Amino acid sequence: MNQRRSKIQIVYDLLIAAKQKGRIKPTHLLYKGNLSHLRLKEYIDSLIQKELMIKISADGHNYYKISEKGVKFISDIEKMKGITEAFGL
């Protein structure tokens, strides 16, 4: 049985998806993050507020891009994931 993903895992999935694509459309993030539209918006707003992701507009579309701070933050998130998993948080 699949366990419920932790918030840290969801943030990690979103940042990794944005890092791999360079710039990513919200619909792709929705698919990659496996989230509802409302929950994705909450996560993206929080990531933008923490300057881990940047919103850009090009060709009449909105895109999201991982920031430099976000790239550096991935290794921190991996450590947090390790703790969450190890201690069952």
Partner 1 sequence: MAVQLISMNLLTLNIVVFLFSALVAFFISFFSYKAFRLTKEKKHLYFSIGFILLSLGLIMHSVGNLSIYLGIKRCLMNTLCSLSQRTLSIAYLSHILLTFLAYVTLILIYFKVKEKAIAVFAFVQAILLATLTYDSDMFNVVGFIFTLFIVYGAYRNYKSNKNINTKLALIAFSLISISHPLFISNNVLSAYVALFLGYLSFLFIFIKRKPRNTHESKKK
Distance in angstroms (rounded) separating the CA atoms of residues 77 and 9: 8
- When asked if residue 86 is in the footprint of partner 1 (CB under 8 A), the reply is yes
68, amino acid identity: E
Count the residues of the shown chain that bind partner 1, applying the rule CB under 8 A.
20
Q: Which of 88, 84, 31 is nearest to 76 (CA)?
A: 84
Residues 25-84 that bind partner 1 (CB under 8 A): 50, 75-80, 82-84
Residue from 5, 7, 25, 61 touching partner 1 (CB under 8 A): that is: 7
72, amino acid identity: K
Site of interaction with partner 1 (CB under 8 A): 3, 6-8, 11, 50, 75-80, 82-89
